[in-house]
Amino acid sequence: MNSQFVNIIANDALLLLKQLITIPSLSRKEDRTADAIEFFLRSRNIQVNRVVNNIWCINKYFDPALPSILLNSHHDTVPQNSKYTNDPYLPKIEEGKLYGLGSTDAGASLVSLMAAFIYFYEQQSLRYNLVFAATAEEEISGSNGIEKLFLKEDFKALFTHGDSFAIVGEPTQLELAIAEKGLLVLDCTAHGKAGHAARNEGENAIYKAMQAIEWIASFRLPKISPLLGEIKMTVTSIETENKAHNVVPATCKFVVDVRVTEMYNHAEIIDIIKQHTDVDITARSTRLKPSSISPDHPLVKAGILLGKKTYGSPTLSDQALIPLPSLKCGPGNSEQSHSADEFVEVKAVKEAVSFYIDLLRVTVGIINY
């Protein structure tokens, strides 16, 4: 490994991360961070493609006959937490920690993967192609992010070889998340009958909703995933149409967040809930399925060889929308995601650059590195 070059690109990655922190990039409003990433790559003589706010590029000596490795992370963020004490858009380093919104989720992963891509960009005789994609709308699982790219024939064609796979950059402390729960969001409605609260009339929809919510809170689906554990169902909001205090509500709506494993498909979960509750159920989407990569995949074996551990992740990422075997792995602690005064350790970024390079080198036997 060319350690001097690694130090240069790691320092460049850190500078880019600081720049990205200064630019607000809420989901669907990532155009300026996309501009910054595009400029960064073009200034290094890398040909860049752009679809909406998604930036992608391929290694200089791309060979269509070879499989490809997708290096992907996102540059959108959630809104700042109300408990922030720092300016979320003012990057600052204190005691070895870089503070700023999106520093951990997922700026550190993004710039580290980009640095690894740059390291191999001009290498010849690679045994795999490399595709780097900085994508949008991850935080809202939007349709104009990684999913948009895979709808483009020129992008999808990069991965037609059956041995292609992906590394998704998210904060895992550089451990190997080889499985990830999917997401099913359910809009539920309990129906009653309106009446005056002062009289014994009507049928209170809230009480019917409460019965369903109590069942959801206590029920455990019996099939448990070896890697991801139980399916978790959580009621996250509830409301009625009432504005007046003295009306028995005719309807009560609530939302259920279901974190799905491979043990049940979305339709099975909905059917089970319908069998045990008296509410109408509408799924917002069934596209965010659980994802995984085989523990025997060369990428996973390489990570283990480099001293990393495997686990199943309860949090959702763009893995759910990538039609390839994929590993989630990146610098930083997931607990920092969406937290007040988010930070990532500076040394973690530099370690990630070296680790990604080693992971690629060991996985596919990249030569001339």
Whole-angstrom Cα distance, residue 71 to residue 359? 12
pLDDT at 117 over 50: yes
Q: Is residue 142 part of a domain?
A: yes
Would you say residue 356 lies in a domain?
Answer: yes
Distance CA 360, CA 126 (A): 11
Q: What is the pTM of this model?
A: 0.90
Return phi, psi of residue 240, to 5°. Answer: -125, 170
Instruction: Say if residue 186's pLDDT is above 90.
Output: yes
Question: Which pLDDT value is given to residue 201?
Answer: 86
CATH code assigned at 51: 3.40.630.10
Mean pLDDT of the 197-226 span: 95
Looking at 227, 249, 283, the residue that finishes a domain is: 283
pLDDT band at 367 (very low <50, low <70, confident <90, very high): very low
Helices (H), the chain: 3-21, 31-42, 108-120, 146-150, 153-156, 205-218, 266-276, 298-305, 346-364
Each residue of 274-293: pLDDT tens digit?
Answer: 999 999 999 998 899 999 89
Residue at 37 is within a domain:
yes
Distance CA 103, CA 20 (A): 9
Residue 369 clears pLDDT 50, i.e. is over it: no
Same domain, yes or no, for 30 and 122?
yes
b or e along 314-353 (b: 16 or more beta carbons within 10 Å of the residue's beta carbon)? ebbbbbbbbebbbbbbbbbbbebbbeebbbbbbebbbebb
Q: What is the pLDDT of residue 2?
A: 81
CATH of the domain at 247: 3.30.70.360
Read off the pLDDT band of 44 (50, 70, 90). Answer: very high
Render pLDDT for 124-175 as a digit per residue (tens, 0 to 9): 989 999 999 999 999 999 999 999 999 999 999 999 999 999 999 999 999 9
* Residue 195 resides in a domain: yes
Q: Of the candidates 257, 283, 309, which is a domain's last residue?
A: 283
56 and 168 in a common domain: yes
Q: Measured in whole angstroms, how far is the alpha carbon of residue 183 from the centre of its chain? A: 12
Question: Are residue 262 and residue 199 in the same domain, yes or no?
Answer: yes
Residues 54 and 162 in one domain: yes
Residue 128 shares a structural domain with residue 101: yes
Region class of 300: left (phi > 0), else alpha (psi between -120 and 50), else beta: alpha
Residues 135 and 102 in one domain: yes
Q: How many domains does the chain have?
A: 2
CA 46/CA 59 separation, integer angstroms: 8
Identify whether residues 306 and 176 lie together within a single domain: yes
> Are residues 192 and 153 both part of a single domain?
no
How confident is the model over 72-78, as a mean pLDDT? 97
Identify which has the larger pLDDT, 1 or 183. Answer: 183
Q: Which residue has the tokens 């192609």?
A: 129
> Is the residue at 82 inside a domain?
yes
User: Does 369 fall in a domain?
Assistant: no
For residue 313, list its beta bridge partners: 180
Q: Are 139 and 9 members of one domain?
A: yes
Confidence of residue 368 (pLDDT cuts 50, 70, 90): very low
Distance of alpha carbon 131 from alpha carbon 72, whole angstroms: 8
Full residue range of the structural domain in which residue 239 is found:
182-283
Work out the mean pLDDT of the chain and round it to a whole number. 95
pLDDT of residue 366: 59
For the cut 80, the answer to whether the pLDDT of residue 66 exceeds it is: yes
Q: With bands split at pLDDT 50, 70 and 90, how would you rate the model's confidence at 335?
A: confident
Nearest to 1 by CA among 330, 300, 354, 364: 354
Does residue 306 share a domain with residue 172?
Answer: yes
Out of 219, 249, 283, a domain closes at: 283
Same domain, yes or no: 264 and 327: no
Residues 301 and 246 in one domain: no
The answer to whether the CB of 123 falls within 8 A of the CB of 369 is: yes
Query: Residue 365's pLDDT is what?
Result: 72
